[in-house]
A and B are shown apart, each in its own frame.
Chain A
Amino acid sequence: MVIPMTDTTSHHPIEHFIRQYLPEAGGVWECVEPQVYDLLLPETLQEDQDVARVVFDPEALPEHPGSQFMTLGTPLVDRLLEDARRRGRYAGGYVHGLNLHPYGLEQRIRRSLDLPPKVSLAFTPPQPVHVTIAVFWFEATFISDQKEQAVFHAAVDLHQLRHVRHLERLLEEATLSDQPVQQLDSSEGASLTTGYRMAREQVTATVAAAANLRRRELAERTERQLQRMAHYYRDLLAEADARLIRANQKQQDPVKEFNRRRNIERERDIRLAEARKKAALRVQLRLSNLLTVHQPKLRTTAHLARPASSEPIELHLTWDPLLEVLEPLDCPRCAHPVFALRLPGRDAGWCCPTCAVLTQ
């Protein structure tokens, strides 16, 4: 009777990672025996040898001399992890499955806008275009006497240069693909660099708030600790001084007491320095991943006309088929996103209600 080996389907996390990752990265693994593998590394990861024998169980090392033990901190694992991180740093995707022919679009747009009375609105046929949304993930590391890492994200619509908040719906796996389902024109928009600056500004504010909170806590705790220590060592030194005086009075050799005092001072200096060192908080913020999502949107131009006016006003409108809403327009005067449009002067163009009041 052949006795099967104990269950090997539950792999060590690093073993699991290698089995999943290596084929994706262009390498190959072959299981020699449980927890022992030959790895054919992708070219980018090869160093002196292209095939590496690795073990995930330290007990297997003596049976496979020349093999490498795979645990966190060993060069090969670090290299593979770094490679995986590098590969995951940038990706692009397309949203598909959206309704690009919504029923009654003109009426829905009209309902979304708050227009002055007696104006007419005429639309050109809507054009679907790909709008780029850049999603930035930042890794913030707070280092003091402990290390905490947090990931913050910010998404920017490069066409409108606005923050995007509905990430969950945007990144829904079922509607994302790495190739476009239909070829559409790309809308013009700001560069990734501009989007990055905008995203970083937003994340920095959040990280700064988190860092300040941590810094305050740390400072309070350290201050308390330093006070306690200072008090403790002050008392010890006072005790040592008293002993020194007694030794002098008894005409004993004071060297021992001097040494004792010096030792206390030395220890105090070490402990206080340790505590102060631990109180410093450093924060590192780095961009860890970037995803550009191309989402189809419907663009249309509307002409806003007053009965007595000669020139209609041209409005560039964008319908978001993912959220099924009209995107707000930027007020030409204050740049605030608005749905309410006012016409303050005869040929003065349009503006938001606030700007209109200011004009009057």
Chain B
Amino acid sequence: MVRDMELLEHHTRTAQAVLQRMRGRAMLCDEVGLGKTIEAGLILCELMMRGLVRRVLVLTPPSLIEQWQGEMRRKFSIELTTHDDPAFRESLRRSGAAAWGMHERLIASFHTAKRSPHREAILDQAWDVVIIDEAHHMRNSRTQLWKFASQLSKRFTLLLTATPVQNNLEELFNLVTLLEPGLLSTSKSFQRRFVDRRDKLTPRNVDELHELLAEVMVRNRRSTVGLEFTRRYARTEQLAPREDERRLYEYVTELVRRQLNQPERGLSRMALLSLQAQMGSSAEAAAPTLRKLAGHEELSAEVRAQLHGLADEAGRVNGNVKADRLLELLDELDDKLVVFTQFRGTQEMLQERLMGAGIEAAVFHGGLGRLEKERQIALFERQTRVLLTTDSGSEGRNLQFCNAICNFDLPWNPMRIEQRIGRLSRIGQARDVHVINLVAAGTVEAAILHLLEAKLAMFEMVIGEIDMVLGNLDEETDFADVVADLWGASSGLDDFAHRMEQLGDRLVAAKRAYAEQQAIDDRIFADRFRPEP
């Protein structure tokens, strides 16, 4: 009963093991990119179809809520309600925290769930199943989050994490205790029996420990499930913008930064950041926004006049250095290419430029009807060399017949970039995947790209790993917001680049920490926890 996905053998084996042998209480510790969410969805779906589960609570970091909602809806037809949904807000308004008892399938961020008054309301409920994604956030039993999770009343529990151990084996004890208190005895007894006194990360009585863990733990590894992705090759082309493009970018950037730093600015932070991102894409994307903002009556006459002037200038920009390069690239490449942009304005401009050059392109965006979307994908598969697509709506579409993508502009959130690459670099892709990033020099996007590529080597990472690295940053806000804050606080591009360098150092440390975690987990768990066929 699943859709838009390829169910692999290890997914079904895991679901069977969890449902039959582990009786619905398990820690899913697959390596990154093997589909822990799919496994959890399968288990949930099966429990629901068997009539064993009605009330569902999913807890995740805030950045994953939307992704979980989307995946459960698209792949399993399971609708999860967040505390931000209008229906839930209405219940909240009418009945207060009792709203948590009025909706059957809920998803909440860790931060919301552990906060009063939600915390008490959630603890007051009897949940049939609780799913905790990125459960490594609960490795420490002294945190509020662990205590909250341990007090939840639940029949079935799934903990999802690729890295159950980071600093010491007690973290493993804490996670297992959430699932089944007493399985690893008490903390002291666990330390005595299973932890080397000289090194908190080295287990003793390994066979006995593994035997106990096997009652609740599944860990699939790429090497054991025989799932290897093809290689990815990324190249970034940093292009010097044309004079009119550069001038417009600088003016808009200056205005946006000035506005951001004004306490009573009259424009929302989101609108300003969106304008800045549009400028990083093309003048065509920014022009309508500039015009719209110029009509904002809360702004001073001076700012409105400036915005008017900038909108006119954006309309006068004639040409786009990245579009020129894209046309050259299409001459050089003899294969199909997916061109991603975030904005419709840019997409329309590119469509016009390609048409002018006699290149037919399929065009895909969220505003198309369902069937038109299918038609455009079919057109790309069978007839055109180019697919011009925005980020929205392409999830679940099969694009593996193509192996090259071009990021015409760059989302500030690396997860979005990863999602783009993931459309092609996935199960079923037989060829190496080529990623071409086009970026204008001296822009925010150029700085982000430098950080992601030069510091993190993000484009070579396995899908899902970037999330793990960003998770190690210990930031409560999205990476895009972190970048936006740095950018807003910087005095100019040089200052921004300097601040980004510092962020880059933290990212490198986070990546190193992630690699260490992986090594530790591999050493402790080896291949012992794959579900038996």
Contact = CB atoms under 8 A, between A and B. Distances in A.
Interface string B1-43: 1010000000000000001100110000000000000000000
B50 A147 contact: yes
Nearest to B381: A6
B428 interface: no
Using C-beta atoms within 8 Å of the partner chain, give the interface range for chain B. Answer: 35 or more
B1 A232 contact: no
Given A71-B77, A146-B50, A228-B180, 9 more contacts: A33-B371, A60-B370, A71-B1, A225-B183, A228-B182, A233-B182, A235-B186, A235-B188, A266-B151
Interface in A1-60: 1, 3-6, 12-14, 33-34, 57-60
Interface of B: 1, 3, 19-20, 23-24, 48-52, 73-74, 77, 150-151, 153-156, 177, 180-183, 185-186, 188-189, 369-371, 374-375, 377-379, 382-383
A146 B19 contact: yes
A198 interface: no
A19 to B, nearest CB: 16
A71 B382 CA distance: 32
Given A69-B77, A146-B52, A59 B370 contact: yes
A146 B371 contact: no
A251 B377 CA distance: 75
Interface in A262-285: 263, 266-267, 270-271, 274, 277-278
A73 interface: yes
Contacts, number: 95
A277 B182 CA distance: 18
B52 A12 contact: no
Given A5-B371, A278-B23, A229 B181 contact: yes
Nearest to A266: B151
Nearest to B152: A270
B186 A232 contact: yes
Interface in A125-150: 143, 145-147
A73 B189 CA distance: 46
Chain A residues touching B, range? 35 or more
Contact of A6 (B48, B50, B374): B374
B77 A58 contact: yes
Contacts of B19: 146
Interface string A142-181: 0101110000000000000000000000000000000000
B379 A3 contact: yes
B108 to A, nearest CB: 20
A6 B378 contact: yes
B68 to A, nearest CB: 16
B49 A232 contact: no
Nearest to A149: B50
Give 3 closest A-B pairs by Cβ, nearest first: A232-B182, A228-B182, A71-B77
A90 B70 CA distance: 43
A1 B383 contact: yes
Contact of B186 (A14, A143, A236, A267): A236
